[in-house]
Amino acid sequence: MPRRKSLLIGINYTGSDNELNGCHQDVDNVAKFIKYRGYQDTPQDRVVLRDDLAEEYAPTGHNLLAAMDWLVSEEHTTCFFHYSGHGGQIDDPNGKRPSGLLDTIVPVDFEDNGQIDSDMLHKHLVTKLPPSSTLFLILDCCHSGSTLELPFVYRSDDDGNIHALDGYQAGVALLKEAKRLITGSFNLDREAQARDLYAGATSFLRSLRHNQHMTGLAASDDFSQD
């Protein structure tokens, strides 16, 4: 059996204007579930970060990134990541995203030290993951679908069958919905919805370009081997 490690994060933002209910309980529920799946709850196998624990286990930005690095630090490991808390969006500082936005997760100290954006999450969880290891990840927050900027999107139907989404068609559909909101009577709620839809659409279309690029690389590799 491969080694198994888990990182469970729950942030209620207790006492703040952004307070949530249930994120701590989410961690307890997931911990029980994965224990039945063979994940141990010893300190060397599991890290829990919540804002009702001691300071060294507080879900600050620094602690979240350090824990992510720990999670994916070993080869031949099955890793499990769960986050329950706020998800958000910030302006893209590099101007590379057509939407002008980056999806984020929100540490408890975000007001002082900022949010953790999708580029950073990809770097710490995906890029650093050894090829021999596997990562299962649950993001229970807003904007979760594109937070890691993964190239493939799958969705289950009512019967539990899993299908790969057509990135182009999904992106176009979202753009049309965003356009419908924008061309309607203006208000702040419509603007916010349109921005979210547009960001989701560009994520789908970005994944399509990634897939085409990977296909091109594969074809080049096959040609060079011949």
Strand segments (E) across 106-207? 116-117, 134-140, 154-156, 162-164
Print pLDDT tens along the chain (226 aa): 789 999 999 999 999 999 999 999 999 999 999 999 999 999 999 999 999 999 999 999 999 999 999 999 999 999 999 999 999 988 887 777 666 788 899 999 999 999 999 889 999 999 999 999 999 999 999 877 666 767 666 666 777 777 766 554 555 565 566 566 556 554 545 555 555 555 555 555 554 444 443 333 333 333 333 3
| pLDDT at site 222 | 34
| pLDDT at site 82 | 97
| pLDDT at site 206 | 52
| pLDDT at site 221 | 34
- Gyration radius from the chain CA atoms: 19
Catalytic amino acids? Answer: 86, 142
Architecture of domain 3-150: 3-Layer(aba) Sandwich (3.40)
| pLDDT at site 94 | 78
| pLDDT at site 93 | 79
Return the axis-axis angle of helices 167-183 and 188-225, rounded to nearest 10°. Answer: 160
What are the tokens at 148? 């890691």
Do the strands 101-105 and 87-91 form a parallel or antiparallel pair, or are they unpaired? antiparallel
- Buried b / exposed e along 58-72 (16+ C-beta atoms within 10 A): bbbbebbbebbeebb
| pLDDT at site 142 | 87
